[in-house]
Chain A
Amino acid sequence: MSLAWTTIFVIVLLLPGVFFFIGFATRERYSREIVRSTAIAEVGLALLFAGLLHLAAWQILYWSIGFSPARFLRPLGMYDRIPTWLMFEYGFELLWPILWYVVVTAIIGFVIGMLAAGMVVSGPLRFLATHKWVYQVQKFSGRRGRVVTAYVMTTTAESGKILMYKGSLQELYLDAEGKIAYIVLRSCSRYLMRIDEEGPVTGTQLPLFKDDSPPRSWDYLMISGDNIANVLFDPSPEIEQTKAGSRALEKAVAELTKKVEAVEAKVSRRGWSRGRKSS
């Protein structure tokens, strides 16, 4: 019984550290291993962080309400000298403040983890990351008004021709070794690259869908890391979003939406009349 309580006690004390790493992982979508460490080192770091947070919390509680852990937990130390019913009363009295303390310190750990992860992505704590380049790509693809085009060379080759894809970068994940786990592209086109004596020559770029299909709201192509030989990322210059520019864009989008709705209505009417004829 005492062994189970000790385990629960250790887990509860570790919670702020664990939540710190959960918070840290919220922005870390590109590599499983953001910090140069092993699983054991991560538990050690969680322990260290939890210890620091508990110390800070203790100090703040002491300054604000004169909190003393010895006084707070004293009744539990006399469990063998006081009746069981009184022990239960003490236990339940202590339960709420302890639960609140655990929840608040876990939330603080989570928030600090999120902030630290944001600083890894944005730059000040980039030195903590194992695979730094991917955060540069993430920063550029997330910065206001930049479009990152990805040119993907696949491992699919036939008669000296290699299948290539090009599209707007949407998602990119790495595995623990820093290799691309998978990449997601939007507005993708495919083409072939031939390597002859003069060097690599690329062929005509073809859309993934037929030319006569209506424009789509979105389309994603996911390419698995096993099928990727290499990727070239090409970021555009930054765009300044002016009021006039936003108005022009909204107008163009509204006109496009009308066009698409008209096409969809035409297609559904055609399908309905075909259905009537066949019946």
Chain B
Amino acid sequence: MSTPELTDKLLAIAYNDIDLVQRAIRSAAAEDPTKPADLEKVVSYILKHRKPLPEKVA
């Protein structure tokens, strides 16, 4: 997966919340600062912490 594609997908599942994406990456990277952030942990963090879709939309 290319970087723009990965970024687009992470932003999409975070409902375009860039703060949440950055927090998720930093949180996953903080677990082991010697390694890059694990994508699985990033996705899991986003799904757990993203705001619910507004009622009108959902």
Structural contact, A237 and B26, CB atoms closer than 8 A: yes
Say yes or no: is A149 at the interface (Cβ < 8 Å to chain B): yes
Within 8 Å CB of B16, what residues of A? Answer: 186-187, 207, 215-216, 219
Determine which of A166, A216, A239 lies in contact with B25 in the assembled complex, contact meaning CB atoms within 8 Å.
Answer: A239
Question: How far does the Cβ of B45 sit from chain A's closest Cβ, in whole Å?
Answer: 11
Within 8 Å CB of B22, what residues of A? Answer: 147, 149, 234, 236
Structural contact, B53 and A215, CB atoms closer than 8 A: yes
Segment of A39-47, A137-145, A152-160 engaged in the interface with chain B: A137-145
Question: How far does the Cβ of B9 sit from chain A's closest Cβ, in whole Å?
Answer: 5
Within 8 Å CB of A249, what residues of B? Answer: 6, 9-10, 13, 39, 43
Structural contact, A142 and B43, CB atoms closer than 8 A: no
Chain B at the A interface: SS class: helix
Within 8 Å CB of A219, what residues of B? Answer: 16
Instruction: Say yes or no: A237-B37 contact (C-beta < 8 A), given A168-B18, A211-B54.
Output: yes
Give the contact-size bracket for chain A: 35 or more
Structural contact, B38 and A240, CB atoms closer than 8 A: yes
Binary per-residue interface labels of chain B (25-43) against chain A in the complex, 1 for a CB within 8 Å, 0 otherwise? 1101100000111111111
Binary per-residue interface labels of chain A (244-279) against chain B in the complex, 1 for a CB within 8 Å, 0 otherwise? 111011001100100100010000000000000000
Determine which of B8, B15, B40 lies in contact with A245 in the assembled complex, contact meaning CB atoms within 8 Å.
Answer: B40
Instruction: Say yes or no: A144-B3 contact (C-beta < 8 A), given A214-B57, A245-B42, A249-B43.
Output: yes
Structural contact, A212 and B57, CB atoms closer than 8 A: yes
Question: How far does the Cβ of B30 sit from chain A's closest Cβ, in whole Å?
Answer: 9
Among A189, A248, A249, residue most surrounded by chain B Cβ atoms (within 10 Å) = A249
Give Cα A146 to B10, complex, Å: 11
What are some 17 contacts across the A-B interface (CB < 8 A)?
Answer: A141-B3, A145-B3, A145-B37, A147-B21, A189-B18, A211-B54, A212-B55, A215-B12, A219-B16, A236-B26, A236-B37, A239-B28, A239-B37, A249-B9, A249-B43, A253-B12, A263-B58
Binding site for B on A (CB under 8 A): 141-147, 149, 166-168, 186-187, 189, 205, 207, 211-219, 234, 236-242, 244-246, 248-249, 252-253, 256, 259, 263
